């Protein structure tokens, strides 16, 4: 068996960092050898640093308990010890942009959960089933950064994962207009019910920056690599408008969506397109790839967070309630796991794709 790639987690103590740690505990290709966080946690063991703030159901994996946390700003020291890093650092957007680029320039591939670089034109924003070919922009990014190994790749916001996969499966029917209302879990804000008592018996109709991300990010994912401009040119349709609400759910973002199409597909055609949607992760059988990317549920009261959020270990998308509408052509409800597919799990699948394509290698 070939040696595992050495991974560092930047921002290892936060909720997304903790999810990386648990999802990577028995990963066949990657081994967490380094954990980094802010200077407040640096010098502590991982177990000490997360004591009293560990939010996962699983115990802290034995292999990382005794790792000493490094300061994320110790870039050259960290660069020597890893083959690549996952970034879930919590800083201002400008600081994140800068530190992720510093790692890339230190020849460390960075797979990021943060939004800071999502609109950097030569940074691919990847959902491996949808736009695996966008990774070819990395050669231009490396030329700009002056690197041979280092680069930045990002995953999109968790809010889009409940409806963008269905719209991707339906691209051939040319969606023109989409309304998507999301009902987002509190873990998306890094909280549990213990930290967020204000959400009980409540719906909060505002999540900062979320609606813009929900409307724009799918367009970059459906865009094209322009070899002349050396950037990814976003698609111009469909027009998406969205409202994002925080609800009293721990894990699972639900979307209620309406769609108009240029072509006029039947319900059977739409369901068939969902169920047969396969991508490179399924073809290559990447370790975190769901066998079935999208399931269609026929029961009137599904998808439900309680029953469906863990479909395919939280890496599959559940769609249901597809029906015609008085104003739009079709409406449907979608559900995705926001910290698995929507955050750390999506980034791990992205890193698996990058390894399979030869962009992440042993240093
Ligand atoms: N911003 C999201 C998290 C997704 O990445 C949320 O607040 O739910």
Contact yes or no for 69/38 (Cβ under 8 A): no
Domain of 125, in residue numbers: 5-157+344-356
For the chain, give the mean pLDDT: 97
Q: Does residue 166 share a domain with residue 141?
A: no
Instruction: Find the catalytic residue in 27, 117, 134, 253.
Output: 253
Give the integer Cα–Cα distance in Å for 294 and 273: 10
Q: Residue 244 pLDDT more than 90?
A: yes
Look at the alpha carbons of 193, 198, 199, 204 in this order and tell me if their dihedral is positive or negative.
negative
210 within ligand 1 shell (Cβ under 6 A): yes
| 259 and 147 within one domain | no
User: Are residues 218 and 167 in contact, defined by beta-carbon separation less than 8 angstroms?
Assistant: yes
Instruction: Confirm whether 244 is a catalytic residue.
Output: no
- On whether residue 361 sits in a domain, the answer given is no
Per the domain annotation, does 33 fall within a domain? yes
Residue 352 maps to a domain: yes
The mean pLDDT value for 324-341 works out to 98
Check whether 1 has a pLDDT greater than 80: no
Convert the pLDDT of each residue in 163-185 to its tens digit.
999 999 999 999 999 999 999 99
Q: Are residues 122 and 163 part of one domain? A: no
CATH number at residue 213: 3.30.360.10
Domain check: are 166 and 146 in the same one?
A: no
How large a percentage of the chain has pLDDT more than 70?
99
Per the structure, how many domains does the chain have?
Answer: 2
| Beta carbon of 141 within 6 Å of any ligand 1 atom | no
248 lines ligand 1 (CB under 6 A): no
- What is the percentage of the chain residues whose pLDDT exceeds 90? 99
Q: Does residue 169 share a domain with residue 122?
A: no
* 92 and 210 together in one domain: no
362 inside domain: no
Residue 241 confidence (pLDDT)? 98
pLDDT in tens, 265-288: 999 999 999 999 999 999 999 999
Measure CA 8 to chain center. Answer: 18
Whether 246 and 111 share a structural domain: no
CA 355 to chain centre: 17
Closest ligand 1 atom, CA of 189?
7
Q: Which atom of ligand 1 is nearest to the CA of 343?
A: 5
**Whether 159 contacts 213, CB under 8 Å:** yes
pLDDT for the residue 326 = 98
Dist. CA 349–CA 150, nearest whole Å: 19
Note whether 84 and 166 are same-domain residues: no
Name the residue at shortest CA distance from atom 1 of ligand 1.
188
CB 2 within 8 A of CB 29: no
> pLDDT, tens digit, for every residue of 280-329?
999 999 999 999 999 999 999 999 999 999 999 999 999 999 999 999 99
Q: Please, which pLDDT band fits residue 96 given cuts at 50, 70 and 90?
A: very high
Structure tokens at 82: 């890893």
Residue of the nearest CA to atom 2 in ligand 1? 188
> Is pLDDT of 121 > 90?
yes
Residue 109 confidence (pLDDT) above 90: yes
- For residue range 8-60, what is the model confidence (pLDDT) as tens digits? 999 999 999 999 999 999 999 999 999 999 999 999 999 999 999 999 999 99
Predicted-complex ipTM score: 0.94
pLDDT at residue 59, as a whole number: 97
Give the position, in ligand 1's atom list, of the atom nearest the Cα of 209: 1
Residue 130 scores a pLDDT above 70: yes
Output the pTM of the full model: 0.97
How far from 73 is each of 38, 89, 99, 262, 284, CA to CA, in Å? Answer: 8, 11, 8, 50, 36
Smallest Cα–Cα separation from 154: which of 200, 116, 103, 210?
116
Q: What is the CATH number of the domain that holds 48?
A: 3.40.50.720
Q: Is 337 a catalytic residue?
A: no
User: Same domain for 153 and 224?
Assistant: no
Residue 192 clears pLDDT 60, i.e. is over it: yes
Q: ∠ at Cα 226 (284, 210), nearest 5°?
A: 75
Q: Has residue 78 been placed in a domain?
A: yes
- 363 lies in a domain? no
Cβ of 344 below 6 Å from ligand 1: no
The whole-number pLDDT of residue 261 equals: 98
Cβ-proximal residues to 50 (8 Å cutoff; 6+ apart), any chain: 13, 18, 60
Verify that 69 and 129 share a domain, yes or no. yes
**pLDDT higher than threshold 80 for residue 2:** no
Question: What separation in Å is there between the alpha carbon of 216 and the centre of ligand 1?
Answer: 15
In a domain, 311, yes or no: yes
Which of 342, 338, 346 has its CA nearest to residue 251?
338
- The verdict on 109 and 150 lying in the same domain is yes
Same domain for 348 and 314? no
Domain-embedded: residue 220? yes
pLDDT at 193: 96
**Ordered alpha helix ranges (H), 235-344:** 267-275, 280-283, 305-308
Question: What is the C-alpha separation between 233 and 239, in angstroms, rounded?
Answer: 16
């Amino acid at each position: 068996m070939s040696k595992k790639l050495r991974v560092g987690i930047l921002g290892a103590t936060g909720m997304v960092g903790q999810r990386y740690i648990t999802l990577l505990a028995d990963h066949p290709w990657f081994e967490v050898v380094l954990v980094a966080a802010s200077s407040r946690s640096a010098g502590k063991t991982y177990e000490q640093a997360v004591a009293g703030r560990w939010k996962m159901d699983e115990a802290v994996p034995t292999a990382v308990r005794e790792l000493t946390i490094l300061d994320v700003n110790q870039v050259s020291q960290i660069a020597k010890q890893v083959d690549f890093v996952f970034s879930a650092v919590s800083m201002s957007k400008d600081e994140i942009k800068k530190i992720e680029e510093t790692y890339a320039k230190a020849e460390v591939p960075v797979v990021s959960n943060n939004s800071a670089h999502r609109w950097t034109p030569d940074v691919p924003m990847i959902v491996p089933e949808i736009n695996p070919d966008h990774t070819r922009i990395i050669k231009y990014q490396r030329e700009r950064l002056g690197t041979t190994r280092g680069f930045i790749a990002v995953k999109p916001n968790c809010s889009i994962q409940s409806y963008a996969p269905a719209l991707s499966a339906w691209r051939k029917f040319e969606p023109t207009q989409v309304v998507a209302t999301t009902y987002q879990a509190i873990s998306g804000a890094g909280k549990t019910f213990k930290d967020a008592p204000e959400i009980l018996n409540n719906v909060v109709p505002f999540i900062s920056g979320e609606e813009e991300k929900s409307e724009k990010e799918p367009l970059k994912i459906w865009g094209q690599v322009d070899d002349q401009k050396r950037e990814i040119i976003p698609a111009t349709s469909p027009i998406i408008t969205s409202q994002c609400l925080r609800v009293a759910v721990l894990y699972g973002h639900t979307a209620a969506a309406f769609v108009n199409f240029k072509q006029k597909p039947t319900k059977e055609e739409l369901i068939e397109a969902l169920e047969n949607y396969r991508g490179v992760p399924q073809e290559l059988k990447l370790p975190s790839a769901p066998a079935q990317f999208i399931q269609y549920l026929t029961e009137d009261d599904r998808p439900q967070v309680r029953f469906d959020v863990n479909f395919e270990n939280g890496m599959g998308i559940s769609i249901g309630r597809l029906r015609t509408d008085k104003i739009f052509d079709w409406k449907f409800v979608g559900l995705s796991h926001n910290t698995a597919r929507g955050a750390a799990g999506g980034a791990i699948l992205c890193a698996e794709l990058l390894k399979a394509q030869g962009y992440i290698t042993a240093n």
